[in-house]
Structures are given as structure tokens and as C-alpha cells.
Structure 1
Amino acid sequence: MTPYEAFAVDLARAAAAVTLPLFRTDCEEEDKGGPGAFDPVTRADRDAEAAMRRLIAERFPDHGVIGEEYGEDRPDADHVWLLDPVDGTRAFVAGLPLWTTLIALRHEGRPVMGVIAQPVMDEIFLGGPSGAALIKTGEAPAPLRVRPCPSLNDAVIATTDPDIFSGAELGAWTQVRAAARLARLGCDAYAYAMVAAGRIDLVAETSLKPWDWSALVPVIEAAGGKVVNWRGHAPDDKGQILAVGDEALIDQALVTLKRAAL
């Protein structure tokens, strides 16, 4: 494990020390959404990001940080940490243990290391130069590997909620879903961890921010998968993400997704 990878694990555990005691409690939920849009934020979101920012400032004072709750600090630095302290705040508020903490390290504009952490289940999915591994307390890291699935007809696929898609996007997702063997909803970023673990074959989503998708790329790609946008290129700020375990699925999914690509 490289020093940056070890530090990312430390960040995940520092965030868990904040979020776990607040899970299924009065977590001071607020709605930051506009009229007709519920977009919750909790004390867990704010305090966990603050804890991770403090550690980064102490250990790597020349690094930048981009976080969902507290914005940008030196985003043009050579090394930038991207933080989503509670990805899946709606699940957190509902008491469902599928929310995660997302941590990525971007070097010269490209995500090179990522963590998808689920502290309720004591799971840290790490991807980077040392490969991809599942880390659990008191256990040796377990290597992660995607599974072969060359046909969309045999694939298990996921998205958080079809309501995230616009009209054209929803039509494209619906066609992909119709072709797949099984679709699961409501997993947020945990679905991407399951791609790396060889349990889910494809995830398609839209409207993701850089802190939503940056950690996913190193985890899945270190496990042998691929993450692209809906045009088949590297993910970008337009936020349309397609993650697959088997690269053979990309062209099959893009037959429909490209029609709604931004």
C-alpha cells in the first residue's frame, strides 16, 4: 500500500468515527434543495468532511481539496483530494446502510486513487497503484476483481433512481434495463463498489459531480473494469457515468445511451 493509499484509509476511518455515531440518530437534517426538491444535508456530512479536511491540511498542506460541503481550496494544485463525506444522504436519513464515504486523489487533473467506504459494514474498497482491495478491520486486504460478463442480456445492472434521468436519458436507461438480466435500484455509490467486487456488471447514472464519480474510477479500473461517460470517453463535468466490469458491455450500452449523451 502506498503512503497516499494508507492515508486515504485513515481519512475513511476518521470520517467513520464521525458518521457512525450519528447514523440512525437525530443527525440535524436540513433541506438545502429548492422548491419541490428534497436535498438533505446532515451534521454527519458537515462534520465528517471537516474532519477529513483537517487531516489533509496537517499531513499535506500543499494539496488542494474539493468537497461537497465546503467547496474548493486550491483546486489547481498538482494533488487535489475530492471528498463526499456521505454519498447517499437520503439513505443515511432513512436509516439504510447503503450510504458511503467517497475519497479520491486527483493528480494533474486525473483521479489516480479512490476509496468507497461503507462504515456500517466495516468495508473500505480501495483502488490505486497497488491494485484494488477490500479492507476490513483486523483482516488482510482481500483483492477485488470484476467478473466477466460480455453480454448485456446476462448483466446485473444498477442506478440509484430512474428519476435522476431526463426524458431522453430515461428512455436510454429504460432500453438498457430492458436488455439486462436484472436491475437493482437505490444503492448510490455502493453499486460501484459491487462492480469492483464482481457482483454487479454495469452502473449508469447522470448529474454526478466530480466528488460523486472521481473515487469510483480508480477503484473499478484497478479491479479490471472501466468507467466512461455516455460518449465512451473519460468522465467529465457533464456527469453522465457508465461503469462496467467487462469492457465488452460498453458498446452494447452506448448504442442507446449515446442518444442522450451531453
Structure 2
Amino acid sequence: MPVSAADLALAHALADAAGAAIRPYFRAEHGLEIKADASPVTLADTAAEAAMRRLLAAEAPRDGIIGEEEGASEGASGRHWVLDPIDGTRAFIAGRPIFGTLIALVDGGFPVLGIIDQPILKERWVGVAGRTTEFNGRPAATRRCRALADALLATTSPALFADDELHAFEHLDAAVRSTVLGGDCYNYACLASGHLDIVVESGLKLHDFAALVPVVEGAGGVMCDWAGDPLHAGSRGDVIAAGDAARIEDILEALACRGH
């Protein structure tokens, strides 16, 4: 089912609701706790997801919801809204405005709509399958990259890779011009706007990557897993984003040394 004008309006409303819940906690008392998986969660995370769920219950009661903080609830439509209220909670608690709210609509297992919203800087990237990505209402575009040696690579942290994945990443790191660390979802937004060339990560969950796919691909880039396959609801969570599709084979070749 194509993304409708009502779907897009609802996605914007979800981002607005999340931002309104997050902003009062930024650089203020945020009630930090550590979850069972050792990841941080704050009052802003829980308040933002709760606000989005209330809106979805009112506006799209037949759709399922998959959220980072409250888990999954099945609907009757076959579609799911995938929510990550704060992707980059560590940046949020450090007072760094490079986190984002991620909102995706997944239909048939594939992301068809995605929003990356930075509520402090008031930056919003919106991607819809088959359409041009927009950044604050204007077209966004990735940049061309003539060779891997010219590329600017980003990842959140090498510490998040397993040993064999780290070995592969280091091989790619040695092949590019420079590497930027930190950034979470903001890296993909910067790639969609032509400021980065490659983002590589692993261990991501659906709520971490679903919204990124329509944003990056609608800006002219490509996203896939480390085997080169398209990302979907059942993907393992090893992720490549490239601003220039011509560099994908080079990236896959560099990462192919994994475990060697």
C-alpha cells in the first residue's frame, strides 16, 4: 500500500509530539536509568514514546507498533509504526544535540516511510519510498564519491563491533580518507544531506535502522547489510549506508575480510 498523505501527516505529528516531550529534559534533570542490556534510558525516552503511542492509538488504531521502550503490539492492518524516541541517548545525556527521534512505517516487512528528527536543532529529514527525501521541506541529496580513498566514513563507536566485525571495519577504515566517531542516527542524516559518504554499523535493531532506509535512499544513497542485501524487518542489524551507490562493491570488498 502506498504511503498516503494522511500517513505522512501522522508521521510529522508523531515527530512533533516526541520533540515536545523531549525538549524540557534536554540539559536538565532527565532521570537517567540503566536498562537490563546496559543501555541508558531517561524520562525523555519514555515520555516521547508514550506521547507517540497515544497519538497512534487515536489516529491509527489498526496499525501495529514496535517501540524501543515499550516493545511490540500487533495491529490488524499488517503495517507497523517503528519508534525510537531517542536514538543516541548517550549524546542526549551529555547535552550534545546529535541524537534523533526515529519514526518509520513498515509495510510488508520493508520500511516505506522514515523520519529522522533532531528536536533541539529543529532539523527533520523525511523519506518516503519512491520520493525525494526532504530536509526541513527542501530536497536533500547525497554526494558523489569517486573512490573509496576519498570517502569520509562514520560509525558510532568501534567498541560496538564484535571482534570479527571490528577487524573488518578496521580494514575499511584504512581504505578511506578519514573516519568520524559518534553520531548515531545523525550520521545517516548527514549522509543524506551530502556531508558524509559512508556509515557502517552492526548490532542494530529494527527501531535503529528502519527509519534510516527511506531517508538515505530517497536522497540518492543506498542501504544494505554487510552481505549486500536490502534491509527489512528480519535483517540481522549489520548496516551499510553509502551516499554513492557506485562505492557499495568497494565497501563490501573491504568488509569481506571479516574473520580473516
Answering whether residue 254 of structure 2 is matched by residue 248 of structure 1, we say: no
d(CA) in 2 for partners of 1:22 and 1:133?
A: 27
Contact 1:66 1:75 in 2 (8 A): no
- CA deviation map 1:226-245 (0-9, x unaligned): 00000000124311000001
Q: Which residue of 2 aligns with 1:128?
A: 128
Query: Of 207, 210, 216, which residue of structure 1 is paired with 2:203?
Result: 207
Contact 1:228 1:242 in 2 (8 A): yes
Q: Helix, strand or coil: the match of 1:177?
A: helix
Q: Percent identity?
A: 43
d(CA) in 2 for partners of 1:205 and 1:252?
A: 16
Aligned residue runs from structure 1 range 1-262, under 5 A: 2-33=5-36, 38-74=38-74, 77-129=77-129, 130-135=131-136, 141-235=137-231, 236-260=234-258
Counterpart amino acid of residue 146 in structure 1? T
- Where in structure 1 are there 5+ consecutive unaligned residues? 136-140
d(CA) in 1 for partners of 2:50 and 2:256?
A: 38
Counterpart amino acid of residue 6 in structure 1? A
- Where in structure 2 are there 5+ consecutive unaligned residues? none
- CA deviation map 1:52-76 (0-9, x unaligned): 0110110011000000000000067
d(CA) in 2 for partners of 1:242 and 1:249?
A: 11
Counterpart amino acid of residue 222 in structure 2? K
d(CA) in 2 for partners of 1:259 and 1:72?
A: 36
d(CA) in 2 for partners of 1:248 and 1:75?
A: 39
d(CA) in 2 for partners of 1:190 and 1:31?
A: 23
- CA deviation map 1:76-103 (0-9, x unaligned): 7421100000000111111111110000
1:10 CA drift (Å): 1.1
Counterpart amino acid of residue 105 in structure 1? L
Q: Helix, strand or coil: the match of 1:131?
A: coil
TM norm structure 1: 0.93
1:3 CA drift (Å): 2.2
Counterpart amino acid of residue 197 in structure 1? S
d(CA) in 2 for partners of 1:193 and 1:52?
A: 21
d(CA) in 2 for partners of 1:125 and 1:223?
A: 10
d(CA) in 2 for partners of 1:198 and 1:156?
A: 11
Q: Helix, strand or coil: the match of 1:187?
A: coil
* Alignment length (residue pairs): 253
TM norm structure 2: 0.94
1:40 CA drift (Å): 0.7
d(CA) in 2 for partners of 1:60 and 1:76?
A: 10
Q: Helix, strand or coil: the match of 1:6?
A: helix
C-alpha RMSD of the superposition: 1.5
